[in-house]
Amino acid sequence: MARKTVKVTQPMNIDDTVIAFEKLILRNDGVLPAVPQSTIYITLGALVGLNVPTMSSGTSGSTAPPPPGTHKVPEDIAAPMRALYPSLKRNYLDFVAVRSLFASTTNNLQAQLGFADGQSLATNGTARNLINRAIKALLGVFGGSENELETYGVSVTVGTASGPTPTPPAP
- Summarised one tens digit per residue, pLDDT across range 16-62 is 888 878 878 887 777 766 554 433 444 555 555 544 444 444 444 44
Per-residue exposure over 63-99, b if at least 16 CB sit within 10 Å of its own CB, e if not: eeeeebeeeeeeeeeeeebeeebeebbeebeeebeee
Is 55:34 a contact under the CB 8 Å cutoff?
yes
Question: How far is C-alpha 121 from the chain's CA centre?
Answer: 27
Phi, psi for 111 (deg, rounded to 5)? -65, -40
pLDDT band at 7 (very low <50, low <70, confident <90, very high): confident
pLDDT score for 170: 75
pTM given for the model: 0.56
Residue 126, burial from CB neighbour count under 10 angstroms (0-12, 13-18, 19+): buried
pLDDT tier at 106 (50, 70, 90 boundaries)?
very high
Contacting residues for 107 by C-beta, under 8 A, at least 6 apart:
116
| Cα 66 to Cα 38, 62, 98, 99, 110, distances in angstroms | 19, 12, 38, 37, 52
What pLDDT is stored for residue 36 in this prediction? 46
- For 57, counting Cβ atoms within 10 Å of its Cβ (0-12 exposed, 13-18 middle, 19+ buried), the class is middle
User: What pLDDT, on the 0 to 100 scale, is given for residue 136?
Assistant: 85
Residue, of 2 and 98, whose pLDDT is higher: 98
Asked if residue 69 has pLDDT above 70, the reply is no
What's the rounded Cα separation, in Å, for the pair 27 and 35? 11
Taking only the tens place, the pLDDT of each residue in 125-165 is: 999 999 889 888 888 888 788 888 887 777 888 887 777 77
